[in-house]
Structure 1
Amino acid sequence: MISERAEILRSAQLLVPFLVLPVVIGALWLALRPESASGGTTLLAAGGATMAWYLTGGAISVRQIRRGLAVRRDLMRVISRVLDDSGPSFAVDPDGIVLAQNEAALERIGDVTGRRVQELLARRYAEPERIWHDIGIALGRNGRFRVDLGAQGPFHVTRDAGSTVQCWRISDDDIAAPATASSVQEDGGDFDHLPVSLLVLDPSANIMRANDAARELLGAKAVPGQSLAALLDGLGRELSDWVGDVCAGRTIGGSEVLYLKGDGVQRFVQISLTRGQGDYATAVLSDASALKTLEAQFVQSQKMQAIGQLAGGIAHDFNNLLTAITGHCDLLMLRHDKADPDYADLDQISQNANRAAALVRQLLAFSRKQTLKPQIMDLRDALSDLTHLLNRLVGERIVLTFDHDPALRMIRADRRQFEQVIMNLVVNARDAMPQGGDIAISTDNIRFDTGTTFGRATLPAGDYVRVQVHDQGCGIAPDDLAKIFEPFFTTKRTGEGTGLGLSTAYGIVKQTGGYIFCDSVPGRGSCFSMFFPAHDRREDEEVVTHTAVPRVRRDVEATVLLVEDEAPVRAFASRALKLQGFNVLEAACAEDALSLLTDQRLSVDVFVTDVVMPGMDGPAWVRTALRDRPDTRVIFMSGYAEDVFSEGHQPIAGAAFLAKPFSLSDLTALVSRQLEFAEVRSTPKE
């Protein structure tokens, strides 16, 4: 207790000189400047009032006394510096009250002692309180700030480390660009050789200094005096506004990705801006081209996914309509022979419905939701079978040549879809050569020992079969080359193309597990290259002579349970099956079908069901029904097969799939085939 009291007494004794110090300073001021008695009195009063403020509040602790002494020392140091300053200066406390000002400041701005500095800011700024807040942030970050008060000139606001009192100095110079070549030197030559790209910028976004890494990134134009706006673009506003706000402390900087101007490959630069120690900004640069490429790939992927979902939904509904149209057309054609005048009209309806179905298949192709039937195939045989058709497509002015590797390996793909890809590419090549030319189709084996990058894609190491289609046409402009595989993009005139040819080819190749790329030089032609994983023909995939399944005469009429929520499709399918002699039970949904099957006396040979229906879907109700009827054959129908045979897995063992739109003969033939296989399996062996 005694030691604590002694400490308090010693601290109080230390405080005594500071009680006298304001009086002494005030007296000296009055003695030296009798003509400015009012100013000296203000300083004296301010000093005494400030000191009194620190000593009020009742009993004080040793810690409070020490804190008060520290603040008092900071206050006196700042006031002393203000009085000694040759330029106009004044001191401001944390609340914005002007504590003291020197003679030069008195002559320049008048007597402002005791007034709030926000009143001065209000002369220039519409929101002085916000500027005062920004000043506090800037002083806490780097100890200085620049503020403009109009006629009074620009102000430097500084605060010593540990001080809560600000010193405001008025400068006659334009301190918006105070730095010189020497004032922004950073560690001498080390700045130039740092491995990070650095720039020093003035408030107008002019380069004051650039190190070696920055010059390598931005090019030879990144020299002192050059405007950064001449090198970078894409901010959305003037680059100088952003840099100026950072230099003035109005914003804290941040990062932006800008486009690097100039010819050649498109490049992007990420720039992170912070305020320097002076009224300039320091910029840290990095190459963001790879980041923007990944972003573009992600955006493209999202766009293709959205279009794919739209295409899948349209295709599902559209195929139901086409099934009803083609089905009822087939029913009408059964009642008319070819000599009937109406037969030709019905045939036109059927052909145009088939064309519409082909368009839907293209939609499903680039959305990769179509049903593929991949098989091991020899490209030489497939292309040989296409030769006659391709020659008819290209016409007489174009010469079509083939060049095959004698040791060409196999690929696993849907033959019909592969032929569609080749025809699309050949037709595009023909259209690119209106005056004629050569189209060369070549195949060869290629091996990549390591991952190989083509454009934005990387092919894994392995063995591939490459197919190339090369033309001598007009070529593709660089700006269009990145968009040629997008659906509905075309450079042809209106009515000459749908924009689905290349997107269809892209979807088929990707769904097959391959890759497709395009190299093109305007005026010299284009080359489309496709890479498919190489396969070897397995013994179980050798050409097999299929034995026809014997037709077994049935003593009892077969019963088909037809489940379809679309009434027009159900009506057509029911009539088609009845015309072939089948007994047909109809249900509009899965629940109705299961309700019918509760009658154990009812014998059903084949379930023919849609996949996507309101409520329970096709595979779900069929699994339930097969628990009690395990020998019943199953046929699934759908507008697209993504939900049915995803990744080649059948939802029900031994089930068959019928893609919409289907014809009368397609339906009846598949039902008959399922029944025949069932009868063969049930025939006892001798």
Structure 2
Amino acid sequence: MAHDFNNLLTAISGHCDLLMLRHDKNDPDYADLDQISQNANRAAALVGQLLAYSRKQTLKPQSLDLRETLADLTHLLNRLVGERTALTVSHASDLAPIRADKRQLEQVIMNLVVNARDAMPEGGQIRVETEMANLDADQRFDRATVPRGRYVVIRVSDEGVGIAPEKIGKIFEPFFTTKRTGEGTGLGLSTAYGIVKQTGGYIFCESAVGAGTTFTIYLPAHERLADARDAAEEETTVPDPMLPSVNQSWESARPPHAAAEGLALMPAKGALTRWGDATVLLVEDEAPVRAFASRALKLRGFTVLEADSAEEALSLLEDPDLVVDIFVTDVIMPGLDGPSWVRKALETRPGTRTVFVSGYAEDVFRDGTTPVRNSVFLPKPFSLSELTTTVQNQLAEPDQDVQPAPVANAN
């Protein structure tokens, strides 16, 4: 279901991007297109939140020092809580690293802090604290048992109105909310729950009416801060000199609270050395998505060969004179899935770069690993600039020496 929704959203937002290219910001139609783009983003965020609750998101775990992660996040958190609320962040001196998806963990903390702020309409204090917990035996908390081991603990506490005892057992259910209509989707805490569980952790809530609420998260301690599977380079956004209006319109289309809803754009990486002089084999079984992606890549000067199935792609590649620089392929398709056909293609075309795209590919990209060498994953829905910049960056990347991890079939 998520795969189908994200395909639809990719086609909607992508063709909206193409239309925005043909309209100046002063054009009366531009505002309407901007609204379409904004609401497509919000719909994508809702799908992502539902995937998070069901623990089916494609995570990109890395070793994290929580002190650094929270330091990077504190400025945004202070903006979110406003002037009437004081935010304090404190850490234990012996804090161990954890292994988690940084953006998703930031989403969890933002959701909890925003909930704490909303529980104190007249203002108050929010405390974010971290510490180590060494459990010598399995420990029962509420209705869950935390196995023995070393954990990094995160606590988010407020002095707000609290949660009634009859409601506290429902707070992690999707669409359950104590807020008034229009003030929340009821997905914030369910999203936090799903992300924490998918990371291998536990989340609990203690609350007293009129006295405040404390959320406690247990995340397994990670032995090493540096991990071979972590990305070695910091991601930065590279502006696109060819179509600045697309970047500007996509950025401006995000609602002011986009950061708190997890709508950040996928950043680009590294210097770009090849642009528009490459041939792309685009493999996508959904015709509207394929049409948008093909037009987007052609606008940037790429030569695009299209196939609506893995079998058609392999048939095209039987021509030894056909030059293909990069594969852009859906993951889940009828017949052979994306990783399966790419592995076959690489037998005769070793070193060809790959961009996998999918609205849902958790089984294939488990633990953030890639199924074949020299490949990256771009989640749907994606924008015109996200797709073309990802292809550009992938062509500019040096060859990877690491072997791909074994994966399960996506079908």
The TM-score bracket by the shorter chain reads: 0.7 to 0.9
Deviation for aligned residue 1:344:
3.5
- CA drift of 1:553 comes to 5.9
Counterpart for residue 592 of structure 1:
312
Q: Which residue matches 1:465?
A: 152
Q: CA deviation at 1:506?
A: 0.4
Q: Which residue of 1 aligns with 2:100?
A: 413
CA separation of 1:680 and 1:377: change in aligned 2, threshold 3 A: closer
Q: Distance in 1 between matches of 2:318 and 2:153?
A: 57
- Aligned partner of 2:43 in structure 1 is 356
CA contact (8 A) 1:607 1:633 kept: yes
Q: Is the 8 A contact 2:274 2:396 kept in 1?
A: no
Which whole-Å CA distance do the structure 1 matches of 2:277 and 2:348 have between them? 21
What is the CA–CA distance in structure 2 between the aligned matches of 1:528 and 1:427, rounded to whole Å? 12
Determine helix, strand or coil for the equivalent of 1:380: helix
Distance 1:532 1:611 in 2: 30
For 1:468-547, list aligned pairs within 5 A. 468-538=155-225
* SS of alignment partner, residue 321 of structure 1: helix
Matched to 1:389, the amino acid is L
Match of residue 86 from structure 2: 399
Q: What amino acid maps onto 1:472 in structure 2?
A: E
Structure 2 vs 1, CA of residues 429 and 551 (structure 1 numbering), >3 Å: closer, same or farther? closer
Match of 2:373 among 643, 653, 656: 653
Which secondary structure state, in structure 1, belongs to the residue aligned with residue 6 of structure 2? helix
Within 5 A, what are the aligned runs for 1:145-544? 313=1, 315-538=2-225
Q: Please report the TM-score for the alignment, with normalisation by the length of structure 2.
A: 0.82
The size of the alignment, in residue pairs, is 367
Structure 1, unmatched stretches of 5+, are 1-312, 682-686
**CA–CA separation in structure 2 for the residues paired with 1:585 and 1:545:** 32
Contact kept? 1:552, 1:679, Cα under 8 Å: no
The amino acid of 1:405's aligned partner reads A
Q: CA offset at residue 366 of structure 1? A: 0.5
Residue identity matched to 1:396: E
Q: Which residue of 1 is the match for residue 340 of structure 2?
A: 620
Displacement after TM superposition at 1:402 (Å): 2.0
Q: Which moved more, 1:478-487 or 1:416-425?
A: 478-487
Q: Are the equivalent residues in 1 in contact too, given 2:119–2:161 (CA < 8 A)? A: yes
Equivalent-residue separation in structure 2 for 1:487 and 1:551 (angstroms) = 42
Distance (Å, rounded) in 2 between the aligned partners of 1:675 and 1:362: 32
Alpha-carbon offset, residue 680 of structure 1: 10
* Residues 352 and 374, structure 2, Cα contact 8 Å, conserved in 1: no
What amino acid is the match of 2:155? Answer: Q
Q: Which has the larger radius of gyration?
A: 1
User: Judging changes above 3 Å, is the alpha-carbon distance between structure 1 residues 568 and 422 closer, same or farther for their aligned structure 2 residues?
Assistant: same
- Are 2:395 and 1:675 aligned? yes
Q: Which secondary structure does the structure 2 equivalent of 1:652 belong to? A: coil
* TM-score, L = length of structure 1: 0.50
Which one has the bigger helix percentage? 1
1:657 CA drift (Å) = 0.9
Distance change (3 Å), C-alpha of 1:531 and 1:679: closer
Q: CA RMSD in A?
A: 2.6
C-alpha contact (below 8 Å) 2:65/2:225 kept by paired residues:
no
- One of 596, 607, 619 as aligned partner of 2:327: 607
Q: For residue 348 of structure 2, give the secondary structure of its aligned residue in structure 1.
A: coil
Q: Distance in 2 between matches of 1:429 and 1:409?
A: 26
Q: Spell out, residue by residue over 1:360-419, the C-alpha distance to the aligned partner (whole angstroms, 9 max, x if none).
A: 111111111111112222222222332232233223332222222233222221121111
Of all paired residues, the percent bearing the same amino acid is: 68
**Unmatched tracts of structure 2, length 5 or more:** 236-268, 402-411
SS in 2 for 1:627: helix
Compared CA separation, residues 338 and 505, structure 1 to 2 (3 A): same
Give the direction of change, closer, same or farther, for the CA distance of 1:643–1:437 in structure 2 (3 Å limit). same
Most deviating of 648-657 and 352-361: 648-657
Offset, 1:537? 4.2
Counterpart-to-counterpart distance in 2, 1:626 and 1:404: 48
For 1:624 and 1:678, how far apart are their aligned partners in 2?
22
Using the TM superposition, give the Cα deviation of residue 551 of structure 1 relative to its aligned residue in structure 2, in angstroms: 5.1
Greater relative contact order, per chain length (Cα 8 Å cut-off, separation 6+): 2
> Retained in 1: the 8 A contact 2:196–2:203?
yes
Conservation of the 8 A alpha-carbon contact between 2:310 and 2:338: yes
- Cα offsets for 1:205-233 (capped at 9, x unmatched): xxxxxxxxxxxxxxxxxxxxxxxxxxxxx
Query: Alpha carbons of 1:385 and 1:679: their partners in 2 closer, same or farther (altered >3 Å)?
Result: closer
Match of 1:576 among 296, 312, 327: 296
Alpha-carbon shift at residue 600 of structure 1 (Å)? 2.3
Instruction: Give distance in 2, aligned partners of 1:465 and 1:345.
Output: 47
Is residue 608–residue 636 contact of structure 1 (8 Å, CA) maintained in 2? yes
Question: Does residue 1:567 correspond to 2:287, yes or no?
Answer: yes
